[in-house]
Structure 1
């Protein structure tokens, strides 16, 4: 039997129906605090509760395309963010409608605008990580694992540079680490460590226009380098045994 004969006799209805969705953990830093993008569900199940943006994939699209589309449709945000796959979740009963497997994604970007609700979302908003309601479905678990992934990736990848503008100061970069990790870092030690990692950042030859509110010297501006992994890694203070 060749492929055409097999497909002609194949009946997908012989197997239990399983749907595939995508959910997006979108993170940004606003007013010095880490925020996640949430939508208020406008339809059942869990109408009125907050959840991660997401939805069912379409028959003609790949998973990353579905994640970007859902992010745009439910929040009005254009898919101009760094996005990567996080994990898959398929526990029976995680969704009351049917057996649904969700593929989750992480998205990062600096200074993202206020979202606007669309599609089947009643509202959309950036919410501080430390001031969240209980989320619908198993989204608390997905968010928690997304946060841990982001915090770990700051140690060994240049992920922090996706939270700042194209050019930035070392102080601004340190602010990303402090916000995502939730701990203060020694300014001098951090500066030394960043510049000791080959390819992490590169100087632009430019400085800030002023020295800040205290009138100090103007700060040097940097851009992301070409490193994909940080060696040596910038370990979290809890793992180093010191705050810095």
Structure 2
């Protein structure tokens, strides 16, 4: 069970140079991701007179977030693991892949990165609104919660399979591509219903800058629950306690 591997961390971990560098990597990766993702939506609104809710706007958002997340995960992978998402960090903690103290450090960096990105966007665009995530008029908070749980489950399951599984081998660039693709696909699936956040930090930055908190809890509870389920399912079924030994070349 992954619960057996959950670790709090040492008292000096939060101030260790490696932990600080990892947190800075998460800060900059999140800034890159949110600036590109949120900025693409603002640009599309400006070009189409607030047409981001059209099918073309949804496709544009999907592509922008997929490409931006691919880059953000890639540039942070060798330093922090490229979480770029408090839900991914939480899932890694549940699976015993990161300590609680380092996870909290990541969370602080991720949330700050999102807020700074939105502030920069507001300044650079001459005061345009960084719109907070919101529900479609025919979608309830509980409907959106299910969407966020399922979509984040898919995201964190993909992260485990391509980046955190000790048996994965050297997948290289495949992990960031897969992670970016699943986020882009989920935006196509759920973007018209609740914006398809899957990432509490991505929701937090625009909410702070626009000071809009309606149904904001959905974008925290859903991703965290989905991440925890993905971590428990993948770790128990596909990782377990037994180590995986590859076949000897003499067996082929």
Task: Bin the TM-score by the shorter chain.
Answer: under 0.3
Select the structure that is richer in helix: 2
Greater relative contact order (CA < 8 Å, ≥ 6 in sequence): 2
Select the structure that is richer in strand: 1
Q: TM-score, normalised by structure 1?
A: 0.25
